[in-house]
Amino acid sequence: MKKLELWQSIINEWKSSGQTKQEFLKRKNINQSTFYYWIKKTSTKDADDKKGIDSFIAIPRSKPLNKLNTGEAEISLGRAKIKMSVSDTASLLISLHQAGVLHDQA
């Protein structure tokens, strides 16, 4: 078992124990500084793992109003580029605005 997995297991044990950190550390004879280091290290890893999940924005696909309107729009957000039909652009922009992604650069 890797250190990260071991400490994640210890932290999970503490969380489910119902004990305060001090009680748990004393019972397990764990150094407080070491414990806090691993809490921070594992929570950073959890946050990194969840970024993709938490930042997903569902975008409803609209039905084209006019079949002749087959133009494309390209939208750049940082390094990401999105190419889509013009009829879907309004839905995309509304969804991004509601998610708080679009903002005034001023």
Does residue 86 sit in the same domain as residue 105? yes
Q: What is the pTM of this model?
A: 0.43
Does residue 49 sit in the same domain as residue 62? no
Q: Give dist(CA 17, CA 13) in Å, integer.
A: 6
Q: Residue 20 belongs to what domain range?
A: 3-54
Strand partners, 82: 75
How many domains are contained in the chain? 2
3 state DSSP class of 76: strand
Pairing status of strand 72-77 against strand 80-85: antiparallel
Model pLDDT for residues 51-90, shown as the tens digit of each residue: 544 555 566 665 555 555 557 777 777 777 777 666 666 6
Largest CA distance in the chain: 73
Q: 3-17 vs 21-28: helix axis angle to the nearest 10?
A: 120
Does residue 75 sit in the same domain as residue 101? yes
Q: How many residues are listed for the chain in this entry?
A: 106
Residue with the larger pLDDT of the pair 26 and 73: 26
